[in-house]
Amino acid sequence: MRDKLEHIVLCMFNSIDASDWTALDAYFHPHIEYRRPGYEAIQGLEQLHVFYERTRIVKSGRHTINTLLCDPEAPSVCVTGAFSGVDKSGRDLDVRFCDVYLFQDEKIIRRETFFSVPAV
């Protein structure tokens, strides 16, 4: 189970970096709740798509994963890493982050992101 959950998270980041929003449905539960600083809680796949396709300030970029930890007692994963990219106004972005994921039915049902700087 651990390898599968880690694989889901890594594939999710690859899809986000490639702006492949349709692929997100394979990784996120229909009732996903996503919390990140500076935004209202995102509820459900439809809001998740709106966030990535229209609301998110990032134009392009790449995530680098430094640590990926899977809880052997619960379906959860914690990731630390960095994101480098460009926002929609052309400003460079370089931020460290920590994500916590909770899974249900082998899909991410809750994601919470913490940043090293104000909201990205």
pLDDT in tens, 19-51: 999 999 999 999 999 999 989 999 999 999 999
pLDDT one-digit tens code per residue, 67-112: 999 987 889 999 999 999 999 999 999 999 999 999 999 999 999 9
Amino acid at 74: A
Q: How many residues does the chain have?
A: 120
Asked if 12 and 25 count as a contact pair (C-beta separation under 8 A), the reply is no
Is the pLDDT at 117 greater than 80? The verdict is: no
Is the pLDDT at 118 greater than 80? The verdict is: no
Beta strand 42-43 with 58-71: parallel, antiparallel or unpaired?
unpaired
pLDDT number for residue 3: 87
Torsion 100-106-108-110 (CA) sign: negative
Binning pLDDT at 50, 70 and 90, where does residue 119 land? low
Distances (CA, A) of 84 to 87, 90, 112: 10, 13, 19
